[in-house]
Amino acid sequence: MLQDQAMLEAVRSALLITMKIALPILAAGLVIGLIVSIFQAVTSIQDQTLSFAPKMIVMIGVLILLLPWTVQRMIEFAREMFTLG
């Protein structure tokens, strides 16, 4: 019973860290996508690459900027998992 509880806590912790890491990147893509969609609606430009390229550029930029923070969170998680056993 105690092992089941520890496993559930480990899975819960893994899901939370995944959400914490992915949220800033996805939020940046969402904001840029909304801005580009509004721009396309105002100007009547319906080019598919116009919505895709800026989102990818911004999301990769955010990923690069947050890389030290992301690596730190992953190291902390790995340490926590190894000390659990």
pLDDT digits (tens, 9 = 90+) for 2-28: 688 888 988 999 999 999 999 999 999
Residue showing tokens 């030290």: 68
pLDDT digits (tens, 9 = 90+) for 29-55: 999 999 998 998 898 888 877 888 899
CA–CA distance, 74 with 61 (Å, rounded to integer): 19
Q: How many CB atoms lie within 10 A of CB 80?
A: 13
Residue type, 14: A
N-term to C-term CA, the chain = 15
pTM (two decimals): 0.80
> Rounded to 10 degrees, what is the CA torsion of 45, 41, 59, 20?
-160
